[in-house]
Homo-oligomer: A and B are copies of this chain.
C-alpha cells in the first residue's frame, strides 16, 4: 500500500507575517497537511495584485517546526506567492490559503486586497486557492466564526474541485457565533469606495494627504450579493475568476469604426 502524501499547503496574507489572523489560519489549516507560510515581513494591506519590479526581494526563514515552516518576504503578497512557488517550496503546493485578513474584502474591496491578490496569484498558477477575511479591521479582531467554519470550507475545496481558473473570496461577519445562519454562495456586490482625503500640514509647511473613505453599496437590496449575506448574518463565499473581459462590451464595441489619423 502506498502511503498517500500529505498535502502541501501554502499560506500567505497581506497583514504581514506577525498578524494574528495568519497565526489563527495556521492553527486552522495545519491538521490538513504540511504548511509553508510565505508572508510579507510588514503590513501590505491594499497592495492588490502588485509585484515588485524595480527592486529585488529578500526572504528570511522565521521558524521551522514539524509541519509548519514560516518565511517572511520583503515584497508584496503576490511577490510572496511567486517566490514560494518558484524558489522556496519543494514542489507546486496542493492548496493556497490567504488570510485571515483583518478587515472586509467583500464587494469591490476584492480588487484592492493584497489577501485576495495572493489567492488570485495561486489560482493563476493552477493551485486551488482561498482568501479568508473577517469584517473587523482591528489587530484584536474576533476570529471565532473563522475558527468554526474555515476548516469546513477548506475541506470542501480539498474534496471537490474548484472550477478551473476560480478561487474563493470568503468573508466572515462579526457577530456572536450562535447568530451565524450558515454559508451563502453569492456574487460580488456592485459598489465603490468614496474617498475623503484628509489634508494635513507637516512641521515644514508641506501638505500631505491621508486616504480615508466610505463604502457605497449600489444595490443594498439585492439578496444574492456578498454584502447582503454579511449584513444578514451569513458567511459570504464568492467564487472569483480572473477573466476581466466584458463579453457584453465586446458585442457593443464591434459596431464602432476607427480611422488612422496619419
Contact = CB atoms under 8 A, between A and B. Distances in A.
A46 to B, nearest CB: 4
Nearest to A125: B192
B238 A245 contact: yes
Given A57-B210, A166-B246, 16 more contacts: A46-B53, A47-B50, A53-B211, A56-B200, A58-B206, A108-B124, A111-B242, A124-B192, A147-B262, A152-B258, A160-B252, A165-B246, A166-B249, A177-B262, A187-B243, A241-B249
A239 B250 contact: yes
A112 B78 CA distance: 10
What is the size category of the interface that chain A forms with chain B?
35 or more
A134 to B, nearest CB: 15
B210 A56 contact: yes
A76 to B, nearest CB: 8
A1 interface: no
Interface in A31-46: 43, 45-46
A51 B241 contact: no
A260 interface: yes
Contacts of A111: 49, 120, 242, 244
A115 interface: no
A189 to B, nearest CB: 9
Contacts of A160: 252, 255-256
A207 B59 CA distance: 8
A237 B253 contact: yes
Nearest to A240: B244
A70 interface: no
Interface string A184-217: 0111101010011101100000111111000000
A58 B206 CA distance: 9
Nearest to A73: B209
Contacts of A53: 45-46, 211
Contacts of A247: 187
Contacts of A241: 244-246, 249
Nearest to A226: B245
A83 to B, nearest CB: 6
A176 interface: no
A72 to B, nearest CB: 13
Contact of A162 (B168, B249, B258): B249
